[in-house]
Amino acid sequence: MDIFVVGLSHKTAPVSVREKVAFAPEKLAEALHQLAQSPQLAESLILSTCNRVELYAGGPDCGAGIRALKEFLAHYHHLSVDDLDGHLYVKQGEEAIRHVFRVAASLDSMVVGEPQILGQIKTAYGHAAEQGTVGLILNRFLHKAFSVAKRVRTETNIAGNAVSVSFAAVELARKIFGSIEGKKVLLIGAGEMCELAARHFVNNGINRVLVTNRTFARAEKLAEEFSGQAVLFENFPDHLHQVDIVLSSTGATRFIISPEMVQQALKQRKNRPMFFIDIAVPRDIDPRVNDLNNAYLYDVDDLQGVVNANLKERQREAELAEQIIEHEIGQFQRWMRGLDVVPTIVALRNKVEQLRRAEVDKTLGNLKHLGASERKAIEAMSAALINKILHTPTRVLKQAQQQEDEEAQLCVDALQRLFDLEIAAPEGELKSMDDH
């Protein structure tokens, strides 16, 4: 049994292609049932997000399984395999394990470190478990992926630095004020960037939001979203002294906030600090504001500088995360090898014991004159002989299981062929793997 993945993502396919192969949530159960009908797939799961569509599966024949996944993806969406082939990636074995661990840990995301993908994988796994399309292999695999993602979050700072302009503004405000809980913010403009930054501020403790816009109805609508207050655009300078943070993003062609306005506001505030974020192009705030004591002005280039520095920091943390993943791959592969090793040892011992039992019974049947002690001695001698014969192959097989190469599988294949073993692997007989 092996693990394989077929998929496409923002790295390999434009949105015009991704949207054609996306699975609607309400049709996912039907799609999972269709996928599970393939005789080449023992287990399967569908992950569908705005940035990626991936099919995870387990089966005895990687080649046949991968073909089945490609054909299903194409036929389900009324496409040809040729239409998709140029955008698809295929992973199998160790490469598939590494890929899914990296996806779960957000190392393969458009924004490295974003937390959403782990929840999306958990949801996909939940749907597959509910429909009964995952079994022993994918159950263990996905739970391991979850624990890997948790280790990466816990042991690295991969998600700890702002990598969007709007969130970088929040990070800078924290540095200026120490804490932004209880602070007040004025939004000048009601566009998407202002709204996103305001949402970050509110989520991080801002308790009052003022909104102004040349179109007052738009200001009212945005203020309502944040339980804030709309202010007439021509009156906003009168409210500057009331707020700690000013975020401006309008389409004005000249400065709408002057040093004189800010100096007056600071005087009314008794020189308590003010933080100005100008994300407009052209700029809304006269850069001379930055020359005033207790006034801190950042424009979009300053914020982008913070983002770039944080992206570099995330990349350093991503390198630590890759090391964690490589360690976890080794653990999971040892467990996978154990799926073959343990049942092979059990089957070998059972077969040899059956042969021993048959020969001892035949021999004792011809030696009816022997007493109980002699019969017991023959039983003990034959059992000891078998244990001595099996000791070395059992030890070698267990040692090979711990290696990071193909020795274990070669030993397993050889024993199964030499002794014509029939392998059964009930879940209860398999050793559990340590989760972290």
Catalytic residues, which ones?
50
CA angle 320, 326, 329 (to 5 degrees): 145
* 54, containing H or E segment: strand 52-59
CA distances from 136 to 2, 40, 69 (A): 12, 16, 20
φ and ψ of 206, to 5 deg: -60, 135
* 329, containing H or E segment: helix 300-366
* 391, containing H or E segment: helix 372-401
Where helices occur in 78-115 by DSSP H, the ranges are 81-85, 94-104
CA dihedral 321→322→323→325, nearest 10 degrees, is 90
- Strands 184-188 and 245-248, by their bridges, are parallel
CA dihedral 165→229→220→162, nearest 10 degrees, is 10
User: Which region, left, alpha or beta, applies to residue 181 given φ > 0 means left and ψ of -120 to 50 means alpha?
Assistant: beta
- Report d(CA 425, CA 427) in Å as an integer: 6
